[in-house]
């Protein structure tokens, strides 16, 4: 099954207030395993970036001024995500911005039935705990040392790992052999191992060892098992 973990960075909190996307990052998973295929673009929002937003993601209008605008990358983005389910943390936020940008380009919105919200999954699985992406990475031992500021691609990469853990953990990979394609790929890349057949080794005690054991037992004074045998 193909799924896409994605994240966005924006100029603010609400597209209806004139805020825009400035970055989008996507990571492809097949059967809950990252394939290495990614989609990442910085975007020129054609507006100033409030200092509060820049403090979160570190993207300035100076840096973004020569980057493509959303209409220039939308075809490539839609081709990459296809009709796969889309995973996001606090997904209504990311879907809201993405669908606003799509509508502004004349495209149909992405149906919310394709949405997988890891924030909702985390609240169900860990009620009462902290559910931020940082907190979930800490809970599951996922390295987030490079996350000095928010970044769409890095956050999508971390999110894909968090999603796997929320979906059952790394043991789900044990079922990959049931997929003929993946099983064949593993078999093709696995090195051949020549294991010679060896005769079974004897494990029974020899007569000499039994005699030495009996002599040792005879030296014990009131061993515990004699008391247990008498009590029985």
136, with CB counted inside 10 A (0-12, 13-18, 19+), is buried
Across the chain, which distance is largest between two alpha carbons, in Å?
94
- CA–CA gap between residue 41 and residue 43 (Å, rounded): 6
* 109 in Cβ contact with 125 (< 8 Å): no
Taking CA atoms, 101 is separated from 13, 36, 96, in Å, by 14, 26, 9
- CA-to-CA distance for 36 and 28, rounded, in angstroms? 7
Active site residue 57: no
Cβ pair 22, 9 in contact under 8 A? yes
In angstroms, what is the C-alpha Rg of the chain?
A: 29
Residue in the block written with tokens 């000499």: 208
Give kind and range of the element (H or E) at residue 8. strand 2-10
Q: Which of 19, 57, 89, 150 is catalytic?
A: 150
Residue among 18, 9, 95 nearest 55 (CA): 9
Give residue 216's Cα distance to chain centre.
Answer: 58
List, by residue number, the catalytic residues: 150
């Amino acid at each position: 099954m193909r799924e896409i973990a994605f994240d966005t960075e924006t100029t603010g909190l609400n597209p209806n207030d004139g805020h825009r996307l400035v970055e989008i990052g996507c990571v492809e998973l097949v059967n809950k395993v990252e394939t290495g295929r990614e989609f990442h673009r910085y975007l020129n929002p054609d507006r100033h970036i409030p200092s509060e937003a820049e403090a979160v993601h570190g993207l300035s209008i100076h840096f973004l001024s020569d980057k493509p605008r959303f209409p220039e990358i939308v075809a490539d983005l839609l081709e990459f995500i296809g009709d796969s389910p889309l995973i996001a943390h606090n997904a209504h936020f990311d879907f809201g911005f993405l669908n606003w940008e799509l509508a502004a380009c004349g495209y149909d919105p992405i149906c919310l039935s394709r949405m997988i919200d890891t924030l909702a999954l985390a609240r169900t699985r860990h009620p009462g705990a902290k559910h931020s992406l940082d907190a979930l990475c800490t809970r599951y031992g996922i390295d987030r040392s490079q996350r000095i500021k928010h970044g769409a691609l890095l956050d999508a990469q971390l999110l894909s790992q968090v999603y796997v853990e929320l979906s059952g953990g790394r043991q789900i990979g044990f079922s990959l052999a049931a997929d003929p394609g993946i099983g064949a790929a593993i078999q093709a890349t696995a090195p051949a191992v020549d294991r010679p057949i060896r005769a079974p080794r004897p494990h029974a005690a020899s007569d000499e060892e039994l005699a030495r054991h009996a002599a040792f037992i005879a030296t014990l004074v009131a061993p515990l098992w004699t008391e247990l045998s008498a009590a029985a």
